[in-house]
Structure 1
Amino acid sequence: MTEIYTTNTIGPLLMGQAFLPLLKKAAQGSPGSALSCSKAAIINISSTGGCITSPGIFDLMPVISYRCSKTALNMLTKCQSLGYREHGILCVALQPGWVQTELGSSGGYQPPVTVDASVQGMLKVLSSLSEKDTGTFLDWEGNVLPW
């Protein structure tokens, strides 16, 4: 659990802290005051496995360490959004979907989302993010997910 938490939660925390001076500089150098990805942003890749309000997913994803780490990542994203908003930095947790990868297919199920569809969807979401989205948990189609 410590290894997974370190990768999925502590890693993004340290990356955000390491890049904070550059993010602040980018935000200050961009015109306008509204938050957006074209100004400065932290996008944390999360999972529906981190949704506390969706316990039914446990049967499909009973990996407690992974789920706890993604729940913590969601809280980190919310905290970053509150702490970095004053610096003009947008912060969002983004779920790429259940994607057709080696890992995604490891449980014997065929995931519904192709890699291309996930990437194209996430790029579309990123291009449309604005100040109202900071601190939210979104899926690859732009839908708000429950915490």
Structure 2
Amino acid sequence: MAALRARAVLLTGSNRGIGLELVKQLLGGPRPPAWIFATCRDPEGPRAQELRDLASRHPNLVLVKLDVADPSAIISAVKIVEGKLNGAGLNLLINNAGIYAPATLDTVDSEEMIRAYKTNAVGPLLMAQAFLPLLKKAARESTDKGLSCSKAAIINISTIMGSIEKTSESFFKPVISYRCSKAALNMLTKCQALTYEETGILCVALHPGWVKTDMGTQEADLTADTSVRGLLSVLPILSEKHSGSLLNWEGKAIPW
């Protein structure tokens, strides 16, 4: 299996679920990144205890306070990451933070729609804008040819529920604000791919599957361990041919 050779990785929503499992498996891999920046809203709070325990044992894990819906918090996070990288670039930005509400067409309101868009679509947009200079730096300084996650990449954690073509198959859970905001994230990913490809940055949306987390509930098909093992086996094989695509945790294409 190909290995991910990213020197510096940043993940949002790292204190639970898929984000926490990504941190664990990146740390435990055969070639862990020199720097893993794990962000969450409250690194000092009770919900980040496991993340703090990991950081106490792994000096390459840096916890960063960040709410992706807050532009000023993103700017502060960039300064922290820049300081640690000390002139180096950021190879991999994984936009994992997301929110989910069981709202139907009858119950959803404007406040809930805006809240979902701010975190699920606008947050990843602002994160990419803010960290773009560090991603470009990593791309420029890499000796790798083509596009890859080891060179410079933006990975947006999306969902099959944002696929318009696949909606009828999963509409037993309407979750309107979540679906619409993730469809917007898919469009963002395509636009990022077309815009950033010339600077050497790969942009891909990944569906982690229906995972047993707080968001996915215990009804889900996959454990976080299985999902993340799949995602981490897909990341090293991504290239320019996948740019702007929506793929699942096994690397299979999902239609828009």
Query: Which band: TM-score by shorter chain?
Result: over 0.9
CA distance in 2, matches of 1:53, 1:59: 11
Q: Name the amino acid aligned to 1:74.
A: N
CA distance in 2, matches of 1:119, 1:39: 20
**Matched residue, 2:227:** 118
**Matched residue, 1:76:** 188
In the TM superposition, what whole-angstrom CA distance separates every residue of 1:61-94 from its partner, at most 9, and x where no partner exists? 2011110000000000000000000000000000
TM-score normalised by length of structure 2:
0.55
**Which 4+ stretches in 1 moved above 4 angstroms?**
none
**Alpha-carbon shift at residue 100 of structure 1 (Å):** 0.9
CA distance in 2, matches of 1:50, 1:61: 12
**Alpha-carbon shift at residue 58 of structure 1 (Å):** 4.7
CA distance in 2, matches of 1:49, 1:15: 22
Alignment of 1:88-99 (within 5 A): 88-99=200-211
**Alpha-carbon shift at residue 111 of structure 1 (Å):** 1.2
**Alpha-carbon shift at residue 104 of structure 1 (Å):** 1.0
What percentage of residue pairs aligned between the two structures are identical?
A: 61
CA distance in 1, matches of 2:243, 2:192: 9
Q: Is the 8 A contact 1:5 1:69 kept in 2?
A: yes
Q: Is the 8 A contact 1:74 1:137 kept in 2?
A: yes
CA distance in 1, matches of 2:197, 2:178: 28
SS of the equivalent of 1:97 reads coil
**Alpha-carbon shift at residue 110 of structure 1 (Å):** 2.0
Q: Which of 2, 8, 14 is the matching residue for 2:126?
A: 14
SS of the equivalent of 1:67 reads helix
Bigger Rg, structure 1 or 2: 2
**Alpha-carbon shift at residue 39 of structure 1 (Å):** 0.3
Unaligned residue ranges in structure 2 (runs of 5+): 1-112
SS of the equivalent of 2:212 reads coil
Q: Is the 8 A contact 1:49 1:61 kept in 2?
A: no
Alignment of 1:1-147 (within 5 A): 1-105=113-217, 110-147=219-256
How many equivalent pairs are there?
A: 144
SS of the equivalent of 1:92 reads strand
RMSD of equivalent CA atoms: 1.1
Q: Name the amino acid aligned to 1:77.
A: T
SS of the equivalent of 1:132 reads helix
Q: Which has the higher helix share?
A: 1
Structure possessing the higher relative contact order (Cα contacts under 8 Å, 6 or more residues apart): 1
Q: Name the amino acid aligned to 1:75.
A: M
